[in-house]
Amino acid sequence: MITIKTKEEIRIMREGGKILVGIMKTLEKKVKPGISTEELNRAAEALISLSSEALAKEDKIKCSFKGYQNYPACLCTSINQEIVHAVPSARTLKTGDIISLDLGIIYKGYHSDMAVTLAVGKVAPDTQRLIRITKKALKRGIKKVQPGNTFGDIGHTIQKYVESQGFNVVRDLCGHGIGQELHEDPQILNYGRKHTGEELKTGMVFCLEPMVTVGDFKIKKSEDGQGYETLDGSLSCHFEHTIAVTKNSYKILTA
Binding-site members are: 85, 102, 113, 176, 183, 209, 240
Measured distance CA(232)–CA(223) in Å, rounded? 15
* Residue numbering of the annotated binding site for a divalent metal cation: 102, 113, 176, 209, 240
Measured distance CA(223)–CA(217) in Å, rounded? 19
Measured distance CA(221)–CA(224) in Å, rounded? 8
Sign of CA dihedral 81, 156, 205, 30: positive
- Is there a contact between 88 and 41 (Cβ–Cβ < 8 Å)? yes
Strand, helix or coil for residue 237: strand
Query: CB atoms < 10 A from the CB of 145, how many?
Result: 22
DSSP tag of 200: P
Cα of 134 vs its chain's centroid, Å: 12
Helices of type H across 55-198: 125-143, 151-164
Q: Which residues pair with 16 in a beta bridge?
A: none
* Residue numbering of the annotated binding site for substrate: 85, 183
Which residues have C-beta within 8 Å of that of residue 29, sequence separation ≥ 6?
Answer: none
